[in-house]
Amino acid sequence: MEDGLTDFDGAGEILRAWGSGLQPDPDLTVSEWADRHRMLSGRASAEPGRYRTGRTPYMREIMDRLSPGDPTQRIIFMKAAQVGATEAGNNWIGFAIHQAPGPMLAVQPTVELAKRNSRQRIDPLIDESPDLRERVKPARSRDAGNTMLSKEFAGGVLIMTGANSAVGLRSTPARYIFLDEVDAYPASADEEGDPVTLAEARSLTFA
């Protein structure tokens, strides 16, 4: 029986899309999200293919502490080199884009390293994961939404910068802050103060 409101071509597709939109997102931790959705590119990993937390089990708790359901507000990770910490941080970035969007600031020691990280880690993170690829605006020469140091997505934006750039550190409020390789940060960003303090000040709006 037709009610007049759905008696048109395409009504079925609209109703199915509406129905799927009513379903809540799965309540995943960051590690669960990574195991389910993260694909590693040959450009960024010696072991391309599906990400498996079981390969670096010591990262599981650290990633899960970054999940929205965990009350932890600040995580400090002291580590050796090449233990998978940056990839764990990138899993957090992917999780935020997909499951808990908001403005995010990711800081490398220098702007040049931030650009390299964007090309070698963040672009593959997005390109190899269909759920992220469909959410992040495609790169266009005239579109500021997706550049080397800025990735816009529904509900948020990822800003990447260097700890040596005071302008980059104060560019936008941030719900999430990812500080990578902090030991290599300069003592002061453009003589404006401690880059960690400058970056953390971006999150006061969301405190």
pLDDT, one tens digit per residue, over 142-200 is 565 678 999 999 999 999 999 999 999 987 899 999 999 999 999 999 999 999 999 99
All domains in the chain, ordered by first residue:
27-201 (3.40.50.300)
Measure the CA–CA gap between 163 and 107, rounded to whole angstroms. 6
Q: How far is CA 139 from the centre of its chain?
A: 17
Q: What is the pTM of this model?
A: 0.82
Contacts of 28 (CB under 8 A, 6+ apart): 36, 67, 95, 99
In whole angstroms, what is the distance from residue 45 CA to residue 41 CA?
6
- Cα–Cα distance list, 70 to 30, 61, 64, 162, 177 (Å): 11, 11, 7, 28, 16
For 80-128, the pLDDT digits (tens) are 888 888 999 999 999 999 999 999 999 999 999 999 999 999 999 999 9
**Structure letter (DSSP) for residue 181:** S
